[in-house]
Amino acid sequence: MTVSGHGARHVAIIMDGNGRWAKKRMLPRVAGHKAGVEAVRTIVRAAGELGLEAMTLYAFSSENWKRPEEEVNDLMGLMKRFILSDLDEFAANDVKLKVIGNWRALAPDVVALIDNALERTSGNKRTTLAVALNYGAQDELVRAANAAAANGKISAETIEANLDTADMPPLDLLIRTSGEVRLSNFLLWQSAYAELYFTDTLWPDFTPADLKAALDQFARRDRRYGGL
Ligand code: IPE
Ligand code: IPE
Ligand code: MG
């Protein structure tokens, strides 16, 4: 059964707090990232069950290269394993994979893996899962503006048409876990009229019930878009 009385079509999540989750347990940061991948699995499944057409997850920002090389390698390794091991799950749940950000600049083996996963899930219809990888909204906007200019005209419409998310429904709800109250260069354009939801829950502890709670609150918000 799908539940979509909340009215949201597209939810994005800044999945933050893996490191603090591990620290609380006196575990290495990579243990937090592994637990974070488990949370991704359950939340993607829940997204379909909750009737969402699209979910965008911030997995690696264009600024995350500032982290120690070991952590960056751990994150890339987990990403590769996630994509490989979950291809069957995507098929079973009718999930179409999409990747946003400057992912073509990643290592050739990651790019090849992504290309394959995109192709294998391209016919799936229920939910689009967009993973933001090497993503920065300012970089996305610069690319979109250049593409618009190359075709002669920069306007809100031509920029929007060249965003990485151009083929997705408008962003309804942006969630950030872990208590930080900032956007960290995520979906700046798309957030113009998205509803924002911040929770102290650390990403590995975020459950389908938490997603449901965010959607319940979203359903009660009054979106005015500047009108009355
Ligand atoms: C989010 O968790 C995952 C990524 C940014 C890749 P963090 O690694 O940022 O966890 P904290 O913020 O240090 O707790
Ligand atoms: C944002 O989290 C990026 C991702 C969740 C992938 P960060 O942990 O990198 O953000 P800051 O550094 O706290 O702003
Ligand atoms: Mg963080």
**What mean pLDDT comes out for the span 30-43?**
98
The alpha carbon of 14 is separated from its chain's Cα centroid by a whole number of angstroms, namely 7
Fold type of domain 10-219: Undecaprenyl pyrophosphate synthetase (3.40.1180)
Q: What is the pLDDT of residues 117-176, one digit of tens each?
A: 999 999 999 999 999 999 999 999 999 999 999 999 999 999 999 999 999 999 999 999
Per the rule left: phi > 0, alpha: psi between -120 and 50, beta: everything else, 26 is left
Query: CB under 6 Å to ligand 2: residues?
Result: 14-16, 58-61, 64, 180, 182, 184
* CA terminus-to-terminus distance, the chain: 35
**Which atom of ligand 2 sits closest to the CA of residue 60?**
6
pLDDT at 185: 98
What is the whole-number distance in angstroms between the Cα of residue 185 and the centre of ligand 2?
9
* Residues facing 131 on adjacent strands: 57, 99
What is the whole-number distance in angstroms between the Cα of residue 14 and the centre of ligand 2?
7
Active site residues: 16, 64
Confidence tier at 35 by pLDDT (50, 70, 90): very high
pLDDT at 1: 43
CA distance 29 to 124: 34
**What mean pLDDT comes out for the span 61-87?**
97
CB neighbour list of residue 143: distance below 8 Å, 6 or more residues apart: 102, 162
**Which atom of ligand 2 sits closest to the CA of residue 58?**
6
Q: Domain spans of the chain?
A: 10-219
CB 110 within 8 A of CB 59: no
pLDDT at 4: 75
CB neighbour list of residue 140: distance below 8 Å, 6 or more residues apart: 100, 101, 163, 164, 189
pLDDT at 189: 98
Question: What integer best gives the mean pLDDT of the chain?
Answer: 96
State pTM to two decimals.
0.97
What is the whole-number distance in angstroms between the Cα of residue 9 and the centre of ligand 3?
26
Mutation choice for ligand 1 from 72, 178, 198, 199, CB with most ligand atoms inside 8 A: 178
